A = this chain, B = another copy of it.
Amino acid sequence: MTKFRFELLARDGTARTGVIHTPRGDIRTPAFMPVGTAATVKAMLPQSVRETGADILLGNTYHLMLRPGAERIARLGGLHKFMDWPRPILTDSGGFQVMSLSALRKITEEGVKFQSHIDGHEEVLSPERAMEIQRLLGSDIQMVFDECPALPATHEAIEKSMALSMRWAKRSKAAFEQQSDDEQKGRACFGIVQGGTFADLRIRSAEALQEIGFGGYAVGGLAVGEPQSAMFETLEATVPHLPAEKPRYLMGVGKPDDIVGAVLRGIDMFDCVLPTRSGRNGQAFTSEGALNLKNARFAEDRAPLDADCTCPACRQFSRAYLHHVVKSGEIIAAMLLTWHNLTYYQRLMGELRQAIAGSRLAAWIAAYHAARPSADVLVSP
Contacts and interface: CB of A to CB of B under 8 A. Distances in A.
A325 interface: yes
B327 A67 contact: yes
Given A76-B320, A318-B82, A321-B82, A335 B43 contact: yes
Interface stretch (A34-42, A202-210, A352-360): A34-42
B42 A328 contact: no
A300 interface: yes
B320 A68 contact: yes
Contacts of A82: 318, 320-321, 324
A331 B76 contact: no
A280 B332 CA distance: 13
A154 interface: no
A275 to B, nearest CB: 15
B332 A334 contact: no
Contact of A324 (B67, B302, B320): B67
Interface in A324-340: 324-325, 327-328, 330-332, 334-336
A369 to B, nearest CB: 34
B330 A40 contact: yes
A183 to B, nearest CB: 21
A25 interface: no
B68 A332 contact: no
A68 B331 contact: no
B76 A43 contact: no
A40 B44 CA distance: 17
A43 B334 CA distance: 9
Given A38-B325, A68-B299, A76 B318 contact: yes
A14 B324 CA distance: 43
B316 A46 contact: yes
A199 interface: no
Contacts of A68: 299, 320, 323-324, 327
Contacts of A45: 312, 316, 332, 335-336
A202 to B, nearest CB: 36
A83 interface: yes
A331 B38 CA distance: 11
Interface in A25-81: 38-40, 42-47, 67-68, 72, 75-77
Contacts of A39: 321, 324-325
A331 B334 contact: yes
Given A46-B316, A82-B320, A76 B335 contact: no
Given A67-B324, A76-B320, A324-B39, A332 B300 contact: no
Contacts of A76: 300, 302, 318, 320-321
A39 B45 CA distance: 22
A308 interface: no
Please list the 9 inter-chain residue pairs (A to B) with the smallest Cβ-Cβ separation, ordered nearest first. Answer: A43-B331, A84-B316, A40-B332, A68-B324, A38-B328, A40-B330, A76-B320, A82-B321, A42-B331
Given A47-B312, A67-B328, A82-B318, 20 more contacts: A38-B328, A39-B321, A40-B332, A43-B332, A43-B335, A44-B332, A45-B312, A45-B332, A45-B335, A68-B320, A68-B323, A68-B324, A68-B327, A72-B299, A75-B300, A76-B302, A76-B318, A82-B321, A82-B324, A84-B317
21 contacts: A38-B325, A38-B328, A38-B330, A39-B325, A40-B325, A42-B331, A45-B332, A45-B336, A67-B324, A67-B327, A67-B328, A68-B299, A72-B299, A75-B300, A76-B300, A76-B318, A82-B320, A83-B321, A84-B316, A84-B317, A331-B335
